[in-house]
Amino acid sequence: MNLLLLEIAGWFGYLQRLEVRLQVIVLLLVFLGQGPLRRRLAPRVPLAQRSDVVIPLMLGLFSLVLGLAGLPNGLVLLGLLLYLGWLGLAGVRQLLARFVQPQQLQVLETRLIRPAYLLVAALLVIRVFDNPQDLALIPLGQWFGSEVTLGSFFLSVVIVYVLAMGTGPPAQGVAWVVQRSVGISNGSRRALALMIRYAAVAIGIVWALDHVGFNRTAILAVAGGLSVGLGFGIKEVFSNFVSGLWLLFEGSVRPGEVLFIDGDPCEVRSLGLRAAVLWRDRDNAELVIPNQTFFTSTTVTYTGSDTLRRSQVLVSAAYHHDPEVVIALLEATARSQKRVLPNPAPKGLLLRYGDSSIDYALRFWIANPMDNVSICSEVQAAIWQAFRDRDIEIPFPQQVQYQVEGPPKS
């Protein structure tokens, strides 16, 4: 580690050179001074408000001046190149937006594209100050009985990070292919994608440890010791992780499944290492529920064996209407709704004789449990319309009250 620090400290020795000092000053001047300059020029030159115009122009200009003076200008050009590259990421984002959903694009951009660009930029800067291949061979020390070099350590970290962050789309692609060829459900496809991702990250970690050259026996010994500590210390985390894996295999809580949470249907959005994220349609809320909860408590799902849900609406009609007519009308009304499944057929039921009306239930099946509320609303609106067309009355509750005058005679 000392060697690495000494090596980095050594880069400052280049400042002994006038040409290097000049270029560093130009870079500082442009990046730190462009703000005040733009504020001063903006009233007269509207284009000066845009930093993406001013910075490249200034860097290009200074680079040209240095070049004409016969002085090295590579550092300024490198600054210009890296800045233009950074601006170019916006173009990449626009291009990807055509194929990737906004939410995924946001994750992809913040966790993979921008970090990757910064990494490449850092390597390019190091490349001109030092030899990265040479730096990669610098030993960081002895870990688990093996000498770890900067290069192997860095590569391992990068690969594990890329696997953790970037395997989502490829895993989904593989799962999609499997779905197309085998015909698994959407929930199974999402579960498969997640499992492929976990497997890729796990293999990546094992590879990284092997690549770094860790002594496997030492790792096993340490892992054995750690497992006891982990068992006491962060058992909840492990419990949730294992629960998550189990639920994935079991298939009851998988992305895309619809569960009933506190009386509301919620769609499972993701099943993470610690918790599942569910989306509640009613108020667009996201519920983060530890995996262990599903493992140890009863879960009501509408998507276990199929995605059908049986819905029901209640309605009342006046006593003077023939129940058979009302039931037939209710069933016909349900059948006329597009989002009500024709099979199993809608079923009207006379539930009871109420105080002021006969109560009916209309039961019907829908394909997507998450649409229950909106379909019920549509069906009830259609019933109101059908009743009005047929002059079927939905009576108000009526109660005759008699006023008693004075206390009862004994």
Partner 1 sequence: MLRPLQGTLYIAVGVSEDAIDGELQKEIRARTTMLQTTFRTLQPKVRLQVEVFAEESLPNELRLRNSTGLSPDLLLVNESTARDLAREKLIDTVSFPAALLDQLDAGSVVRVRRSDGTLTGLPMELQPQVACFDRRRVPRSPATLSELLAFSAKGMEVGLSLDAISLAWTLGPLGAIDAVSSLLAREPVTPVTRQGLANWLGWLRQADQQQHVTFFPTETELIKELTAGTLDWIPCRSINLTRVKAGLGQNLGVAPLPSGPFGGASPITRERVLAFGVNSSPVQRRLALALARFAISPLHQRDIVLRSQYVLPVNREVAPPVRSSSVVAAMVEGRQQSLQRSTIRLIAASSKEQREAWQALLTRFLFDDLSQQDTLKGLIELLGGGRSR
Binding site for partner 1 (CB under 8 A): 3, 7, 10, 13-14, 16-20, 23, 71-75, 77-78, 127-131, 133-134, 137-139, 147, 149
Token digits of residue 331: 């069933």
* Nearest distance from C-beta of residue 129 to partner 1, angstroms: 6
Closer to partner 1 at the Cβ: 18 or 404? 18
**How far apart (Å, rounded) are the C-alpha atoms in residues 154 and 70?**
38
Closer to partner 1 at the Cβ: 149 or 243? 149
Going through 242-340 in order, the beta strands assigned E by DSSP cover 258-261, 264-271, 275-280, 285-290, 300-301, 309-317
| β-strand partners of 340 | 366
Look up residue 360 and give its DSSP letter: E
* Nearest distance from C-beta of residue 60 to partner 1, angstroms: 16
* Nearest distance from C-beta of residue 218 to partner 1, angstroms: 20
Token digits of residue 308: 């059908």
Token digits of residue 247: 């639920």
Look up residue 253 and give its DSSP letter: S
* Nearest distance from C-beta of residue 62 to partner 1, angstroms: 14
**How far apart (Å, rounded) are the C-alpha atoms in residues 392 and 151?**
82
* Nearest distance from C-beta of residue 77 to partner 1, angstroms: 8
Sign of CA dihedral 233, 236, 240, 245: positive
Going through 31-88 in order, the beta strands assigned E by DSSP cover none
Identity of the amino acid at 321: H
Closer to partner 1 at the Cβ: 22 or 358? 22
Closer to partner 1 at the Cβ: 146 or 299? 146
Closer to partner 1 at the Cβ: 27 or 386? 27
Residue 348 has phi, psi (to 5 degrees) of -95, 140
Closer to partner 1 at the Cβ: 50 or 127? 127
* Nearest distance from C-beta of residue 128 to partner 1, angstroms: 5
* Nearest distance from C-beta of residue 167 to partner 1, angstroms: 31
* Nearest distance from C-beta of residue 157 to partner 1, angstroms: 19
Whether 105 contacts 96, CB under 8 Å? yes
Token digits of residue 316: 């009342």
Helices and strands per DSSP (H, E), number in the chain: 15, 10
Closer to partner 1 at the Cβ: 49 or 131? 131
* Nearest distance from C-beta of residue 16 to partner 1, angstroms: 5
Q: Smallest Cα–Cα separation from 313: which of 359, 371, 282? A: 359
Closer to partner 1 at the Cβ: 18 or 32? 18
Closer to partner 1 at the Cβ: 18 or 68? 18
Q: Is 313 exposed, middle or buried (0-12, 13-18, 19+ CB in 10 A)?
A: buried
CA 339, distance to chain mean position in Å, is 29
Whether 350 contacts 323, CB under 8 Å? yes
Closer to partner 1 at the Cβ: 14 or 238? 14
Look up residue 113 and give its DSSP letter: I
* Nearest distance from C-beta of residue 140 to partner 1, angstroms: 12
Closer to partner 1 at the Cβ: 73 or 333? 73
* Nearest distance from C-beta of residue 78 to partner 1, angstroms: 7
Q: Smallest Cα–Cα separation from 168: which of 192, 193, 185, 187? A: 193
**How far apart (Å, rounded) are the C-alpha atoms in residues 102 and 187?**
21
Sheet containing 258-261: which strands, arranged edge to edge?
A: 285-290, 275-280, 264-271, 258-261, 300-301
